[in-house]
Amino acid sequence: MPTRSSSQSSNDIVALGELLIDFTEYGISEAGNRLFEQNPGGAPANMLTAATKLGSKTAFIGKVGSDMHGEFLRKTLADAGIDTSNLILDPEVFTTLAFVALSDMGEREFSFARKPGADTRLKPEDIDYDLIERSRVFHFGSLSLTDHPAIEATMSAVEFARDSSLVVTYDPNYRPSLWESQAKAEVMMKMPLEYVDILKVADNEFELITGETDYVTGLKLLEMKGIGCVVVTLGADGALVSVKGQQEKIAVPDVSVVDTTGAGDAFFGSFINRFLNSGLSVDGMTLDSAIEFARYANSAASICITRRGAIPAMPTLAEVEAFKAKHYG
């Protein structure tokens, strides 16, 4: 385990994980071929961008290729105001690419170029542990748990964050083509749960990490692992928040869906931003406070899905507050 320093907090959120290109389907060429638009993406980076646009001070830990895509991604994060001092551009591997086809309803189908992708090559010794310690929240997802050495890097950072008394937040994402089997995915996605303080999980991934289809039963199991707050995102049905054995569903208004990419990340970035602004600890969070955070988060996600891409679609604080005032009061 790396040693800890006595430096003061300088970031609200530091996130570790994948930073990649989403080549999102964008019409048909004159020759009749599908066109794909280059969009910056990767769930942890998306989440950070959402929080940054709402006023959080953030930093990203990860690896991209030393190529045209990696430099584009580095510049994108830097331009968004995210600290990229621990974003490594590696000349030995290529930046991960995800090709995203969209249905008429804006739902996504993924095809990855990641064999290996740069994000999977992050090593424990690549991590700036001082950057983690000088933060309030450490955030990660499950795609950095698919391959070595990123698995070891992720768990080293998670354990260090917990040892340093940061709030640990986790957003497991299941992309079948990136795992050797669903059984392996379930094992690896569950592995970090004992370190987690706040968990966001999509409805279609809930059974993978709990083994339960019933929300009340599954949420009870997660609470028994010591997770202080769980949010289940329900797509068009909104979100279910759970704190101290109490649950409440928060509905979302109807909006015109263009692209759902990044919606969950917009939700969680906003949720954590509001949590930090509240001054509450995880133990001090109540169901009522979590409901209020989720209303902001639903507002951010609702705006995001009316736009193309993930990082470019993240709303500003003024936009979120206006949407919330209109739909939630």
| 42, burial (CB in 10 Å: exposed 0-12, middle 13-18, buried 19+) | buried
Predicted pLDDT at 7: 44
Which CATH number applies to 11-17+43-87+119-327: 3.40.1190.20, 1.10.10.10, 3.30.470.10, 3.30.450.150?
3.40.1190.20
Predicted pLDDT at 9: 59
Predicted pLDDT at 8: 52
> Helix or strand or coil: residue 249?
strand
Q: Using 50, 70 and 90 to split pLDDT, how confident is the model at 63?
A: very high
Predicted pLDDT at 131: 98
Start-to-end C-alpha separation, the chain: 47
Beta strands in the chain (DSSP E): 11-16, 20-28, 34-41, 58-65, 83-90, 97-102, 108-113, 135-141, 167-171, 198-202, 229-233, 239-243, 246-250
Say yes or no to pLDDT of 107 above 80.
Answer: no
What's the CA gap between 98 and 38, in Å, rounded?
10
Cβ proximity of 186 and 193 under 8 Å: no
Q: Is 27 left (phi over 0), alpha (psi -120 to 50) or beta?
A: left
Token pair in block for residue 17: 């994980």
Say yes or no to pLDDT of 2 above 70.
Answer: no
pTM of the entire predicted model: 0.94
DSSP 205: G
